[in-house]
């Protein structure tokens, strides 16, 4: 069997068993997450992975959206197929991004060795230990995180376990969404800095 280290189901649950952070809201509704982003005067940038050629990549793999540089880590490497971003071995997938963001979300699910959708228990965990555990069956499944404080989010880890047991499953992401300042807001902040310097 091609290796694409299966964490037991209990390990995946333990990944998110800790109490949620008081400063992080979690939602499985993309509409709700988008509202939180817009209500804060921010905008959504999306990494679709569609610009990455199909194939195997060593870890870490790095890329960026216009405002966020991100990297993905999995000890066995990364596999991309038709806009789906996954691991080569059945292990957790970690994303780091810079700068940190007020909100991050994604379509997190699991696939089998041939990139077919698999019913999985998935756990998405932030660096502060907060996170979400749920059932996912395909790329329509959504999980979003929103910081209610000034703290930003800069790391997420995705792990999956096969509900049916048996065959290997791989954490897979269809899209990553970042809450970032809108281009106009960023320009205004820059302009305000120029005006402040000129007054001095």
Res 103: pLDDT:
97
Residues whose CB falls within 8 Å of the CB of residue 125, separated by 6 or more in sequence, listed in order: 15, 16, 131, 156, 157, 159
Res 22: pLDDT:
66
Res 21: pLDDT:
59
Which region, left, alpha or beta, applies to residue 34 given φ > 0 means left and ψ of -120 to 50 means alpha? Answer: alpha
Tracing tokens 């499944």 back to the chain, one arrives at 141
Q: Identify any residues that bridge with 132 across adjacent strands, giving them in sequence order.
A: 124
Res 165: pLDDT:
81
pTM: 0.82
Question: Cβ distance 143 to 106 under 8 Å?
Answer: yes
Residue whose C-alpha is closest to residue 108's, from 168, 48, 55, 173: 173
Instruction: Split the chain (200 residues) into runs of 10 and give each run's mean pLDDT.
Output: 38 36 89 97 98 97 98 98 97 97 97 96 94 96 93 96 91 98 59 40
Question: Cβ distance 134 to 143 under 8 Å?
Answer: yes
């Amino acid at each position: 069997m091609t290796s694409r280290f299966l964490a037991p189901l209990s390990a995946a649950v333990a990944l998110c068993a800790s109490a949620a952070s008081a400063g992080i809201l979690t939602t499985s509704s993309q509409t709700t997450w988008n509202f939180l982003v817009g209500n804060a005067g921010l905008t959504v940038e999306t990494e679709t992975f569609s610009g990455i050629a199909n194939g195997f990549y060593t870890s870490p793999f790095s890329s960026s959206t216009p405002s966020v540089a991100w990297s993905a880590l999995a000890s066995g490497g990364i596999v991309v197929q038709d806009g789906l971003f996954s691991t080569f071995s059945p292990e957790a997938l970690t994303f780091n991004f810079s700068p940190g963001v007020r909100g991050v979300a994604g379509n997190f699910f699991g696939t089998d060795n041939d990139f077919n959708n698999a019913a999985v228990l998935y756990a998405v965990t932030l660096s502060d230990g907060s996170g979400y555990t749920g059932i996912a069956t395909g790329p329509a499944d959504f999980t979003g995180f929103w910081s209610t404080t000034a703290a930003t989010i800069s790391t997420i880890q995705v792990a999956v376990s096969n509900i049916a047991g048996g065959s290997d499953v791989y954490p897979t992401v269809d899209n990553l969404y970042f809450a970032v300042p809108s281009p106009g807001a960023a320009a205004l902040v820059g302009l305000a800095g120029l005006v402040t310097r000129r007054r001095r």
